[in-house]
Amino acid sequence: MNTQDKITKAKIQLILSQPFFATLLLSLPVIADDSIKHLATDGASIKYNPAYIDGLTIDEVKGLLCSAVMKVANFHHLRREGRDKAAWNKASDFAINPIIKESGLSLPKESLHDKQYKDLSAEQIFKLLPVPEPDQQPGNSQPDPNGNQPGQGQGNDNSAAIDVQDSPAKTEGEKQQLEAQIKQKVAQAAAIGKRAGQLPAFLKQMIEEILEAKVNWKEVLARFITDTARNDYSFKKPNARFIQSGFYLPSLYNNEEPGNIVFIVDTSGSIDEDLFFQFAGELQDVANEMRNSIKVIYVDTQVQGVQEIEPDEKIKLEIQGGGGTDFAPGFDYIEETGIEAKAIVYLTDGQCSSYPKQYPDTPTLWAVYNNKHFLPPFGETIEIQ
């Protein structure tokens, strides 16, 4: 059996027996790479050394792939923050491998395990790891006082540590966006595992902790508005790359006059009034920073009102409606009235499954109140509390 067939077979078996892990795994490309030692992930893909995989059983491959996706699910590629990379990889293995074993999956015999680290985070484990002596060479580990076998305690050069590579995300906004995307994938995988009746209690608790990880929604909101509303495509500035080919295409440029920023506000009655006031303050900051008017559309099962807010104008949201919830009317109103929205932000509790028949091309951010399981079919999502 060649290496690619082994990877494929491992995926198929996980789909049948471990739907939670399989769903996460299928969201990441798995790529052969001779330059790495064992496995590596930066959150965007999983890479493996074919020669290493060739020496493993199917069960061990399954366990390692699941270990890799759980490192991504726990944001280990985003959390190193300058720590020593080799030690961070070990701490990551010590934190994740017990989860893999408890799920009934196998790992190579040299994988890192130590009962003293059970239920600790990678950061906590990192602080407990001994600092190597300058003359200590990999592979010269002494018997461990906790009774672990070589390769099971603090590890050695033969350890099967997955190389957790730093995410390519550079800015805090990019990192927060990746965290939000990962949380969506985890929620989706959990729902699939639960429907299949194959989601152990200990995994449920861990998933809840992942989904409850706090994201600064105010920073995400500011980043979304700035990144999306200040960029535009224009035929007044054609894309020079395609002119010689006979194609007259628009180019992306920085637009200091961002146009309409549209906020659709769910007024179905389940949105707390305090949240309206909190959100109004954030709208005030956005309006003042962007120096442009903001249009607010109030919607429950229909458009209940529209409000225009000018820069430096004291914002007072006018709560209108109070019925059920339907996501379609707000987007339909934007389309029917010809509003040229550069960005759409939808404040909602997410208690609805009715969407517009045609999804908008406009960048959309769902600001969801206290509903970590909300998975809209388009746009970006942040949870606010």
Q: Which of the two residues, 291 and 11, has the higher pLDDT score? A: 11
Does the pTM exceed 0.95? no
Q: How confident is the model at residue 69 (pLDDT cuts 50, 70, 90)?
A: very high
Q: How confident is the model at residue 230 (pLDDT cuts 50, 70, 90)?
A: low
Sign of CA dihedral 153, 156, 161, 165: positive
Span 346-368, pLDDT tens digits: 988 888 888 998 888 888 888 88
333/162 Cα distance (integer angstroms)? 50
Domain boundaries, the chain: 3-133+147-211, 217-384
- What are the tokens at 52? 């290493």
pLDDT confidence of residue 336? 93
Q: Quick one: what percent of the chain has pLDDT higher than 90?
A: 35
68/75 Cα distance (integer angstroms)? 11
pLDDT confidence of residue 217? 65
Q: Which of the two residues, 199 and 124, has the higher pLDDT score? A: 124
pLDDT confidence of residue 284? 66
Q: How confident is the model at residue 152 (pLDDT cuts 50, 70, 90)?
A: very low
pLDDT confidence of residue 160? 54
Of 187-201, 256-270, 271-285, the poorest mean pLDDT is in: 271-285
SS3 17: helix
Please give the span between the terminal C-alpha atoms of the chain, in angstroms, as a whole number.
51
Choose among 315, 318, 321, 319: nearest CA to 280.
315
Average pLDDT over residues 239-261: 46
What is the 3 state secondary structure string of 75-132?
CCCCCCCCCCHHHHHHHHHHHHHHHHHHCCCCCCCCCCCCHHHCCCCHHHHHHHCCCC
Asked if CATH classification 3.40.50 holds for the domain at 217-384, the reply, yes or no, is yes
| 260 has pLDDT over 80 | no
pLDDT confidence of residue 381? 81
Span 32-43, pLDDT tens digits: 999 999 999 999
Span 313-342, pLDDT tens digits: 776 666 666 677 899 999 999 999 998 888
Helix residue spans in the chain (DSSP H): 3-17, 19-26, 50-54, 58-73, 85-102, 122-128, 172-195, 201-211, 217-229, 240-243, 273-290, 328-336
SS3 47: strand
pLDDT confidence of residue 252? 38
Span 272-297, pLDDT tens digits: 666 666 666 666 666 666 666 788 89
Q: Which residue matches tokens 């070990």?
A: 90
Contacts of 62 (CB under 8 A, 6+ apart): 10, 13, 14, 18, 105, 106
Average pLDDT over residues 75-104: 92
| 7 has pLDDT over 80 | yes
> Quick check: 351 and 368 in contact, CB under 8 A?
no
Of 133-137, 164-168, 216-220, the poorest mean pLDDT is in: 133-137
